[in-house]
Amino acid sequence: MAGLVTEWVNVTGDISIIARESGEVWFHTGSGTKDHVDPFATPMTGVSAAGSTVGLLDGAINLGFAVIEKRLARPDLTLAGYIVALVGAYHTSVDTPRNLRRAASRFNELARPEVAAYLEERAREETGHDRLALKDLRALGVPGERLVANFIPEGIKPLCKRFDDLCVEDYPIGCIGYSYCLERIAALKQETDIEKVQALCPDGVDATRFLRSHSSLGSEATHVEETIEFVASLPANDRIRVVQETYESALILAEGYNHELLKSEAEMLEELEQALGEALPYRHTSYPLHGEKRRARPVA
């Protein structure tokens, strides 16, 4: 019987992720192996398999989120929080096609047409996603263009900067790790998550276009599958770099999201209304953005 493929990547000073084709994943620390040669101390050079590649990628996300596990904010969903999330969604989408095309043209220069083709395809698929977030804001009666022009949530800024920086590197393979991290997390969202948001929205208003498309119901699930397949097709050095960047992006994303989620609704409203220069709609209607009752309306 042919041996199962094993892949490994060192992601931090002393932690490596080890993944087998069968789906098993370990976090390995190199310490305490003085008497033995640590087989995972040298970078992997071998072949890949989809099963081990996904283990490395998802292991990197889990490890990144483990850093904030004890501080993880779990706020009630509010309309103000959702509006901030839509602004964040706009900013993490608006430059994606341009950035991916920039990285693609670098890979063409590097005589790596297969990577360039993959990134160009992704750029096409991601085009217009910023418009979905703007449409959702508009559906909620919020002047989206003005809001996004005046406001980038603090926790989202480092994420946008990371992607900008990755796409202009001399060897911009890390941008695939960043994209995987964001898309994998989006693809965890289920129909019930969308229904909860829908329950917050005014009757007859659909403000879940972005969310739906970036969930298990939309294109994200396919994007994740395609990325795993593509990463598994790359040489070992590239796979290592992609997994390392998936981990770095997960760290930045976890800290950033948590920073936003830890804000009180009053702080969020303050930021939103300052950026808009006016009160948000629904202030004095049945959608209790202000006042004592700030919890989400129960579903139906």
Q: Footprint of Fe ion on this chain (CB under 5 A)?
A: 126, 129, 183, 223
**Nearest residue (beta carbon) to Fe ion:** 129
Least Cβ distance, residue 181 to Fe ion (angstroms) = 12
Least Cβ distance, residue 93 to Fe ion (angstroms) = 5
Cα 133 versus chain centre, distance:
15
Q: Which is nearer to Fe ion, 183 or 265 (CB)?
A: 183
Least Cβ distance, residue 114 to Fe ion (angstroms) = 20
Q: Which is nearer to Fe ion, 97 or 155 (CB)?
A: 97
Any bridge partners for residue 27, and if so which?
A: 17
Helix axes 157-167, 79-93, angle to 10 degrees: 10
Cα 201 versus chain centre, distance:
24
Q: Which is nearer to Fe ion, 220 or 265 (CB)?
A: 220
Q: Which is nearer to Fe ion, 58 or 271 (CB)?
A: 58
Q: Name the residue type at position 258.
A: N
Q: Which is nearer to Fe ion, 152 or 296 (CB)?
A: 152
Q: Which is nearer to Fe ion, 7 or 126 (CB)?
A: 126
| Residue 9, phi then psi, degrees to nearest 5 | -145, 130
Round to whole Å and give the CA distance between 103 and 97.
Answer: 10
Round to whole Å and give the CA distance between 278 and 242.
Answer: 43
DSSP single-letter state for residue 17 = E
Give the total residue count for the chain: 300
Residue from 1, 15, 4 nearest 243 by CA: 15
Least Cβ distance, residue 91 to Fe ion (angstroms) = 12
Least Cβ distance, residue 214 to Fe ion (angstroms) = 6
CB atoms within 10 A of CB 259: 17
DSSP single-letter state for residue 71 = G
Least Cβ distance, residue 122 to Fe ion (angstroms) = 7
